Structure 1
């Protein structure tokens, strides 16, 4: 971590956050992370289900092929992750969902 960074050094991801709030304020609220460890990155994490990740993915025009998927927590939590450059900053979008809930929802839709 660079201890000589200032708030101005985080301007790129903060500008991106402002843009996203203005353009996509209707989307589910994510957990937001801006860090001096990764000063050019904005992370949006959605802990409310994989469907909220999908809403953000579609709004940001991230192709499904650019999304990584894995399972953690002994198979109980599905994780979707996509990293894209958006408005000059690196945006990392992460979604977490309870696999039991997701499987039940898919089964009832069939």
Structure 2
């Protein structure tokens, strides 16, 4: 299988990226992923982009701007519980957009039993 597409063949994802750049310029910049394997898909990912450390707040800003239904959001934990992940996919500007946010999980609370600390 060959993935040597022309830019013209990647028009759906490129068009939506241009639209997002125009309409969402006020939002923190995500990582952007395009692939000739799925030329109709654009992936945006957020990695600790907010100064408060709450990437999920920025995820919500992006989700709302893209009009992705909150029911499409999934949550999971990876990296032995060290990383929280939000993910949602929805149509935008003629392409499918997948939005993913990665954030450090809060440190586990350690409790001590028996004896004074």
Superposition TM-score, scaled by structure 2 size: 0.80
Q: Deviations over 1:36-78 (max 9, x none)?
A: 1111100000012222111101212222211011000111111
- Kindly report the root-mean-square deviation, in angstroms, between the aligned alpha carbons of the 2 structures: 1.6
- Separation in structure 2 between the aligned mates of residue 43 and residue 90 of structure 1, nearest angstrom: 8
Partner of 2:62: 56
Consecutive unaligned residues of structure 2, counting only runs of 5 or more, are 49-54, 109-117
Partner of 1:90: 96
**What secondary structure, in the 3-state scheme, does the structure 2 residue paired with 1:35 have?**
coil
Is the Cα contact below 8 Å between 2:4 and 2:36 reproduced in 1? no
- Which aligned segments of 4 or more residues in structure 1 are displaced greater than 6 angstroms? none
* Larger Rg over CA atoms: 2
Pick the structure with more strand per residue.
1
How many residues align? The count is 102
Superposition TM-score, scaled by structure 1 size: 0.85
